Amino acid sequence: MVEPVAARQLRDRDLYRQRAEQARAEADEATLDNVRDRCLRAEAAWNEMANRAERTEKMRASQEAYKASLAEAAEA
C-alpha cells in the first residue's frame, strides 16, 4: 500500500532535521577545520531541505482546502 504524500513528507522533514542534528554533532566533535566546515555546510543544507519540505506540506494542505471549498460551492 502506498502511503499518502503528506505522511511521507512529514517523515522526510523529520529525517532532514535528524540529519542536521547529526551533522551538527559531527561538527562539534571535529578537530580539523575543513571537516568542521563541511559538517556545518551539511547541517545548513539539511535544515534548508527540512524547511522546504515543511513549506511544501503547508502549501499542499492549503491547496487541498481551497479545492475542497470549490467543490462544496459547486455542489451548493
Does the pLDDT at position 10 exceed 60? no
3-state secondary structure of 2: coil
Does the pLDDT at position 66 exceed 80? yes
Average pLDDT, the chain: 89
**Mean pLDDT on 49-71:** 93
Are 49 and 2 in contact by the 8 Å Cβ rule? The answer is no
CA dihedral 61, 67, 70, 76 (to 10 degrees): -90
What are the sequence ranges of the domains in the chain? 5-75
**Mean pLDDT on 24-35:** 98
Does the pLDDT at position 1 exceed 50? no
**Mean pLDDT on 43-71:** 94
The pLDDT of residue 7 is 57
Q: How far apart are CA 40 and CA 25, in angstroms?
A: 10
